[in-house]
Chain A
C-alpha cells in the first residue's frame, strides 16, 4: 500500500446468503476525519465497516461486490495481503474483548504477530506497549499492573485496552463498532475525548446509536436505512438541515 489511506466505495452490494444486506452503497472517506455511521439496528452499518478490514470474510455465505479501495488499491483483489490489511485497518468492537492474558501481552499481541517476538526486540516492544497505552489514556492506570490479567480491568478500561491493542499494530484507519454502547457515561466521555485526539493521526469510522455522540465527535455522518445510504455529508449539515425526510425523521427521533 502507498502512503495514502483514503477509502472509496463504489456500488457496493453485500449479501448474506440470500439476504441483501447492503444495496449499492457508495461513499468516499477522507484521511484524518471521523466519519459517524448512524441508523437503526440491522441497517447494515456494522456490516459496512467490516468490509474495510474484510472481517466479513469470516461469515459463511457472505458475498461482496463493487469496487472498494483503500489508498487507491482494491482490497478485494486476489493479491491483497489480508493480515497486512487488518494490521493497517484496526478495529474496536462493541463489547470489550480483551484476551484472557496479561495487559502487556494483550497490547503486544499484534506487534508479536508482525515480527517483534524475539527477546532482542524486548525493549522495542516495551516502548510500543507504553506508547499505545499512553495513546489510549490508560498508561497511568495500568503501568503497575502490566503483568496482571486484563480481565481484571473495569469495562471502560477494557475497552481502552482494546483501543490500545488496536493502536499497537500501528494502523492507519480505525474502525469502531459502537465502542461505547456497553460503557457508562464517564468511560464514554473518556473514549470520545480519545477519538478527538486520535483523529490527528488516524482515519476513524465509528458506528454509533447515539446521535449526540455523532455530533460531538464526527466530521461527517452517513445515515443508513435498510442497507442503503440515505444521506451522507458533513455532520453539521446532516443534523441541522437534512436533505432527506427520512434522515430528518430519524435524527429527530420520530422512528428507529
Chain B
C-alpha cells in the first residue's frame, strides 16, 4: 500500500514538473520569437536616414523621437507629483479602513483597467476639443498622465506600505513631525519602488498609441516646435508607416521601439536593485 501511494506521489510530482516546464517553455518561446522576429525584420532597415535624417523623400523618425520625449516629460511631470502625492495621502493621512479609502482604491483599480482608446476619446473630447488645446503634444501628454496616474498611485502606495512601521515609530519617538517622518524616513525607504514605478510608467508612455491617435495629430513629417505643436511618437510612426505604404520603415521603427522599451525595463530593474541595497533588511 505504502509503496503504491508513494509511487502515485512521485508520478504526480513528475507530471506537475513537466507541465510547469512546458508552460515556461511556451511563454519563453513566445517572448523570444516576438523579439527575434521584430528585430530580424526591423534591424536591417534601421539606418542613419531613418534615425537622424530630415523627413524628405524617405521617412525619418526624428520627429517621433522629439515627440516621444515631449510626451514623457509632460506626462511624468504631471502624473509623478500628483500620483506620489495621492499615494502619500492615502497611506499616511487616512485610516485604511475607512469607506472613502476603499472607494478610492476601487476607483484607481478600475481606472487602471480602462482600455487606452477610451482614455484617447476622453482626451480628445476634454483636452483637445473642450479645453481648446487642439491636436497637440500637450493634449496627448495630459491624457497620458491621466492614464498612467492610477498605475503610479498603486505602485507608490505599495512601496510606502512596505516601509516597516517600526521606522515610522522610531522617527516619531525622536520628536519628528509627520511631515519630517514622511520626507526623511518613509519616502527615502520607498524610493527604489517609486523610481521603478516611474520608469515603468515611462515605458507605458513610450509604447502607447491608441491615446495618441486621437490627441496629438500624428504629424509625422515635421519636428514639433514646442509643447503646443502637433506631433507624433515612435509607436504612432509604426502605425503610420505600416498603413501608408512604408512596411520596411514600420518594421525598423518597431525594432527601435522594442529595443527602447526593453532597455527601459532593464533600467528599472537595475535602478531598483541599486536603490534597494541595504534598505529594509533588518538584522
- Say yes or no: is A139 at the interface (Cβ < 8 Å to chain B): no
User: Does B282 belong to the interface (CB within 8 Å)?
Assistant: yes
B180 within 8 A of A: yes
Quick one: CB contact mask for A73-112 with B, threshold 8 Å, 1 for yes? 0000000000111110011010111111100000001100
Query: Closest chain A residue to B163 by CB distance?
Result: A100
Assess whether A86 is in contact with B173, with CB atoms less than 8 Å apart: yes
How far apart are the CA atoms of A169 and B177 in the complex, in Å? 14
- Return 28 A-B CB contacts under 8 Å, by A number: A83-B175, A87-B175, A95-B282, A96-B282, A97-B164, A97-B169, A99-B185, A100-B167, A100-B188, A100-B278, A101-B188, A109-B171, A109-B174, A110-B174, A110-B175, A110-B176, A113-B175, A113-B180, A149-B278, A151-B278, A151-B279, A152-B278, A162-B170, A165-B170, A166-B173, A166-B174, A169-B174, A182-B283
Inter-chain contact A151/B173, CB cutoff 8 Å: no
One digit per residue, 1 when the CB lies within 8 angstroms of any chain B CB and 0 when it does not, for chain A 147-179 equals 001011001001000100110010000000000
**How far, in angstroms, from A113 to B173 measured CA to CA in the complex?**
12
Bound CA span A55–B174, Å:
11
Q: Are the C-beta atoms of A90 and B180 separated by less than 8 Å?
A: no
Q: Are B170 and A99 in contact (CB under 8 A)?
A: yes
Compute how far the CA of A81 lies from the CA of B280 in the bound complex, rounded to whole angstroms: 31
Chain B positions within 8 Å of A90 at CB level: 173-174
Q: Is the CB of B166 within 8 A of A93?
A: yes
Residues on B with C-beta less than 8 A from A60 are 95
CA distance A222 to B173 in the complex (A): 23
B176 partner residues in chain A, CB cutoff 8 A: 83, 109-110, 113
Known: A100-B280, A101-B188. A113 touches B167 (CB 8 A): no
CA gap between A107 and B169 in the complex, in Å: 16
Number of interface residues of A (CB under 8 A): 33
With A93-B169, A100-B278, A109-B184 as contacts: A86 and B175 at CB distance below 8 Å:
yes
Chain A neighbourhood of B281, CB < 8 A? 151
Which 3 pairs across A and B sit closest by C-beta, in order of nearness? A87-B175, A86-B175, A97-B166
Per the CB 8 Å criterion, the residue count for chain B at the interface is 24
Which residues from 157 to 195 on chain B have a C-beta closer than 8 Å to any C-beta of chain A? 164, 166-167, 169-177, 180, 184-185, 188-189
A186 within 8 Å of B by Cβ? no
Question: Could you say which residues of chain A place their CB within 8 Å of the CB of B188?
Answer: 100-101
**Minimum Cβ distance to chain A for residue B118 (Å):** 38
**With A97-B164, A113-B180, A151-B282 known to touch, is A55 a contact of B173 (CB < 8 Å)?**
yes
Cα A84 to Cα B174 in complex, Å, equals 9
CB of B282 within 8 A of CB of A83, answer: no
Question: Do A91 and B180 have beta carbons less than 8 Å apart?
Answer: no
- Cα distance, A156 to B189, chains bound together (Å): 22
Query: In the bound complex, do residue A99 and residue B283 qualify as a contact, i.e. CB atoms below 8 Å apart?
Result: no
CB under 8 Å from chain B, chain A span 25-65: 53, 55, 58, 60
For the complex, give the distance between the alpha carbons of A151 and B169 in Å.
Answer: 17
A114, CB-defined interface residue at 8 Å:
yes
A112 to B, closest residue via Cβ: B184
Cβ-defined contact, A53 with B173, below 8 A: yes
6 A-B pairs besides A58-B169, A151-B278 with CB distance below 8 A are A95-B166, A97-B169, A98-B170, A99-B171, A100-B167, A100-B278
In the complex, which residues of chain B have a beta carbon less than 8 angstroms from the beta carbon of A91?
173
Q: How far is the CB of A105 from chain B (nearest CB, A)?
A: 9
Within the assembled complex, what's the spacing in Å between the Cα atoms of A83 and B166? Answer: 18
Q: Please indicate the chain A residues that have their CB under 8 angstroms from the CB of B171 in the complex.
A: 99, 109
Cβ contacts under 8 Å, B280 to chain A: 100
A-side contacts of B169, CB under 8 Å: 55, 58, 93, 97
Q: Closest residue to A109 on the B side, CB-wise?
A: B174
B263-283 near A? 1/0 per residue, CB < 8 Å: 000000000000000111111
Q: Which of A101, A109, A155, A169 contacts B283 (CB 8 A)?
A: A155
When distances are taken between beta carbons in the complex, the residues of chain B under 8 Å from A182 are 283
Which chain B residues in 13-38 approach chain A with CB under 8 Å?
A: none
In the complex, what distance in Å separates the CA atom of A97 from the CA atom of B185?
12
Distance (Å) between the CB of A15 and the closest chain B CB? 18
Q: When chains A and B are docked, how far (Å) is the Cα of A165 from the Cα of B174? A: 8
